[in-house]
Amino acid sequence: MAIPDHISVRGAYVNNLKHLNVDIPLNKLVAITGRSGSGKSSLAMGVLYAEGMRRYMSTLSTYTRRRLGQTSPAAADSVKHIPSAIALRQRPVVPGIRSTVGTATEALNVIRLMFSRLGSPVCPNGHRVPPTLDIAKAMDLPNDGESGMGMITCPTCGVHFMAFAAEDFAFNSTGACPTCGGTGVINLDIQYLPDMQQTCPTCHGRRYNPEVLKIKWHERSIADLLDLDVDTALTVFKDEPTIVHTLQTLHDMGLGYLHLGESTPTLSGGEAQRLKLVAHMGRSQKDTLFVFDEPSVGLHPLDVQTLVAVFQRLLQTGATVIAIEHDLDVIANADYVLDLGPKGGAEGGHVMAAGTPQAIAKQGHGETAKYLAAHLAAFHVD
Three-state DSSP at 212 gives: helix
- Angle between helices 269-278 and 301-316 in degrees, nearest 10: 30
Query: Which strand (E) or helix (H) includes residue 311?
Result: helix 301-316
Is residue 285 a contact partner of residue 319, using CB atoms and an 8 Å limit? yes
* Average confidence score pLDDT of the chain: 87
Report the distance separating Cα 77 and Cα 59, nearest Å.
22
Helix (H) or strand (E) holding 181: none
Per DSSP (E only), the strands in 105-246 are 151-153, 160-162, 185-188, 196-199
Burial label, 97 (beta-carbon count in 10 A; 0-12, 13-18, 19+):
middle
Which region among 181-195, 318-332, 366-380 has the lowest average model confidence (pLDDT)?
181-195
If pLDDT is split at 50, 70 and 90, which confidence band does 32 have? very high
Give the model's pLDDT for residue 67.
64
For the residues 318-331, what does the mean pLDDT come to? 94
Summarised one tens digit per residue, pLDDT across range 349-360 is 999 999 999 999
Task: Give residue 60's pLDDT band: very low, low, confident or very high (50, 70, 90).
Answer: low
Q: What's the pLDDT at 14?
A: 92
pLDDT of residue 20: 95
What distance in Å separates the CA atoms of residue 291 and residue 89, rounded to the nearest whole number?
8
CATH number, domain 6-94+267-378: 3.40.50.300
- Answer with the residue of higher pLDDT: 257 or 69: 257
DSSP state of 11: E
Maximum mean pLDDT: which of 151-155, 227-231, 304-308: 227-231
First to last CA, the chain: 36
In the chain, domain spans:
6-94+267-378
pLDDT value at residue 158: 92
Strand ranges inside 170-225, DSSP E:
185-188, 196-199
Query: Higher pLDDT residue, 292 or 72?
Result: 292
DSSP-derived secondary structure letter, 293 = E
Q: What pTM was computed for the model?
A: 0.77
